[in-house]
Structure 1
């Protein structure tokens, strides 16, 4: 899934206050980890996973019906395949 489907990449940045374990913050600074970039990447990954789960939940009935139909009737090419 592309990031464009998840969020508006052109939306302006907004400041946000977060509380972070001070030891983790010190280590992140030591290694020059860009916390804003890391948080955005992690949020993208998490949102993608949540949206996948939501889609599967919303479409579970149709997926189950399709799989049951294929199990009972097979696919149209069953008689045509040579492998």
Structure 2
């Protein structure tokens, strides 16, 4: 799903420094270096955003968890499981 989104974006040439042995092996295996780097960077961005969101919302999450601990889940009586 994400790979399809990546192909629609505007590309910008860039220089990267990569481990030469890893680069050689990837080329020998027919791996598209640019796409693989892009996927890896996209994953790193996603993880960074998740961590940032969790840090920014830590107080709200703690408050919500404390409420549930003290009072139980809202509407728990309506749960089917």
TM-score, normalization: structure 1?
0.77
Q: Which residue matches 1:15?
A: 13
Tell me the distance in 2 between the aligned counterparts of 1:63 and 1:29.
45
TM-aligned CA deviation for residue 65 of structure 1: 0.5
Alpha-carbon spacing, 1:72–1:33, altered in 2? closer, same or farther (3 Å): same
Alignment of 1:1-80 (within 5 A): 10-80=8-78
Normalized per residue, the structure richer in helix is: 2
- The TM-score normalised by the length of structure 2 is 0.78
The alpha carbon displacement at 1:45 in A equals: 0.9
Q: How many residues align?
A: 79
Q: Please, which runs of 5 or more residues in structure 2 have no aligned partner?
A: none
Runs of 4+ deviating beyond 3 Å: 8-11, 78-83
Query: Quick one: higher RCO (CA 8 Å, sep 6+), 1 or 2?
Result: 1
